[in-house]
Structure 1
Amino acid sequence: MRTIRDHSLISVTTAAFLALAASILPVHAQTAADAALNMANMLDGAGGGVSGDDLLAALEDAADAGQPMAMWQLGTMYENGEGVDRDPVKAFGYFAQIANQHADAAPKGVEADIVAQSFVKVGDYYRQGLPDAGIPADAERSHALLLHAATYFGDADAQYRVGLLYTQEDEMGVNPLQSARWFSLAARKGHCPAQAHLGDMLFNGVEGIEAQPIEGLMWLSIAHERCAGTGDAAWIDDLLNRATALATPEESAEATALAQSIAPQFAGF
């Protein structure tokens, strides 16, 4: 396999691509997935002076050189049919390559989010099955991949998904305490659907968890603000409106004050 040091085997376009990747990686605020998207946007078409074919070739060369960001971008392109023909088999291959090669990457490393999300995506493929790639539906393996992303990498989306699995008998089995635990982990990282589910559970109470209407309303209010304008806004607003109709004015006022004071702590990274 080619490496970054094999300059004779990497095109000038690819070298520029890798240099740009390094230059746009942030110190704290931006994730590696953000960097991959920005990198593609900057190189795309007239904006970057690079044709679609050159961009694809550069990504492929960078992926061959072991660059997770390039593999991620290619996997996303083939998964969604962006600039290439949609090809779930190729998409699976790139995501699986990231997961296989970087399963023990530093959990807080700059590319950890890409690796974690690759585990999530591979888990999704195993959940549904991908016959064209010889991948049968395998719920147990799907759960194991998701749990690795949720536990080792602490990925908020993976933690949220594990929380959902504990609400379904045919998945991990209904376990409200486990579900609330995973929703709480994701909620504190700023995952607004997790915040909404946690808020609903706390407001109403579930087996093993006494109703806590003020804290529940607080989380629902935070989720309402953070998910505004997204595809999740409607069902989150329904949960909030339902809870607000049942809460006392005093509970609503206290929950609103709490949400305003502590929401910045749970705004995500």
Structure 2
Amino acid sequence: MTNIFKQAWEGLFGSSPKNDVDSKLKKLAEQGQADAQCDLAQAYYEQENYTLAKMWFQQAAEQGHTRAQHELGLMFFAGHGVAHNIELAQYWLEQAIEGGRSDSLFALENIRENTNAYSQERIYFLQEQAKQGDAEAQFELSLAYYYGQGIEQNFDQAILCLTKAAEQGHFIAQYNLGISYENGQGVKQDYNQAIYWYQQSAQQGYPDAQYNLGGMYFHGIGVKQDYQKAIFWYDQAAEQGYDGAYVNLGFAYLNLEGSENMDQAFKWFSKAADEGDASGLYMLGGCYMEGIGTTKNLTLAKKYFGQACDRGLQEGCEAYQDLHNRER
């Protein structure tokens, strides 16, 4: 891996995915990178620092980051760190839906069906349906318990209901259960269980689960690092329009040998760049600078570094300035 790509790898992903996460995320978030802002918000949310979580989710959401829009909508619905606000919850979920996020549609429909924040009658109905094995009711009841809507907040009950729905093949429940095990939310952290539930959901074609499963293989979390398997699952998500997978596909191919893999890296960095992804723009500039999957072209390299810089990626600014200095 050439220097520019090595620097990018360490700057964007870290030499180890679990080391110095907060400091690196905060640096990138402060530079305006939406992915980092969203990840930092998630980290604060898991620490129950809802004020900072809301702040960083909102900054990413305002840049069009669909996962941040989704999470911000859920925060307004649940009243975590913000006043309970159905209108803002619906607004941010609608923004995420426009960006192609499928689970936001389900969440929005759920909110619209239960605008009264789960009346006692609704809770009773869900409990009765859940007892009869209705997976949809079990899943919806898990959300009520998790967010404390219409019933006392109870993470143990939320996980119990979520597990029952997941075991019946509810793919969003399977995905959410995977997240719970990966992050240790309501359960003891267990990467094996996270991978199992992500895989169950991913095999049903759910792109969010496919993306997360790809990430487990990409970083070697709970499994042996395997770029080929990461590529398989990232590709499944990307083919469904999950644009967050594009730049990671590029990196995965970059870690394999052979000109065909370099061509694929260039292809996916290009797709990420077309979506305005700062990391994708930066890496596409690197491809043109190093001749990876394409002919060397310093003019184009400078162009894409500049565009990455304009989107707040400091590495892009530094690479742009470096090329500018060479021209003097």
* TM-score (structure 2 length as normaliser): 0.49
User: Which whole-Å CA distance do the structure 2 matches of 1:81 and 1:126 have between them?
Assistant: 20
Question: Aligned runs of 1:66-105 on 2, under 5 Å?
Answer: 66-100=133-167, 102-103=168-169
Q: By how many angstroms is 1:164 displaced? A: 0.7
Match for residue 238 of structure 1 among 275, 279, 285? 279
- 1:215 corresponds to 2:267: yes
Percent identity of equivalent pairs: 17
Partner of 2:319: none
Equivalent residue, structure 2, for 1:206: 255
Is the CA contact (8 Å cut-off) linking 1:177 and 1:208 kept in structure 2? no
Mark the runs of 5 or more structure 2 residues left unpaired by the alignment: 1-99, 289-296, 304-328
Match of 1:150 among 199, 202, 223: 202
Letter in 1 for 2:105: D
Aligned to 1:6: none
- The answer to whether the 8 Å contact 1:184/1:194 transfers is yes
DSSP-derived class of the 1:167 partner: helix
* Deviation, structure 1 residue 220: 0.5
Kindly indicate whether the alpha-carbon contact (under 8 Å) linking 1:122 and 1:142 is maintained by their aligned counterparts in 2: yes
Secondary structure of 2:262's match? coil
Q: Which residue of 2 aligns with 1:189?
A: 240
* One of 161, 169, 172 as aligned partner of 1:117: 172
Distance 1:201 1:252, change over 3 A: farther
TM-score scaled to structure 1, two decimals?
Answer: 0.58
Amino acid at match of 2:112: N
Q: CA deviation at 1:127?
A: 3.9
- By how many angstroms is 1:75 displaced? 1.1
- AA partner of residue 58 (structure 1): F
Q: How many residues align?
A: 192
**Distance in 1, Cα, partners of 2:130 & 2:172:** 17
Compared CA separation, residues 77 and 199, structure 1 to 2 (3 A):
farther
What SS does structure 1 have at the residue aligned with 2:219? Answer: coil
Name the CA distance, whole Å, in 1 between partners of 2:283 and 2:127.
50
How many Å separate the matches in 1 of 2:118 and 2:177? 30
- Letter matched to residue 119 of structure 2: G
Q: Is contact 1:33–1:69 with CA below 8 Å preserved after alignment?
A: no
Using the TM superposition, give the Cα deviation of residue 185 of structure 1 relative to its aligned residue in structure 2, in angstroms. 0.9
Task: Indicate conservation of the 8 Å contact 1:126/1:142, yes or no.
Answer: yes
CA shift for structure 1 position 37: 4.0
Question: What code does the residue aligned with 1:79 have?
Answer: Y
The alignment partner of 1:211 has SS state of helix
Deviates more, 1:170-179 or 1:180-189: 170-179
Output one character per residue of 1:28-85: Cα deviation in whole Å (capped at 9) or x when no partner: x99798356424423423xxxx972223223323333433222222212222334443
Q: Distance in 1 between matches of 2:172 and 2:148?
A: 19
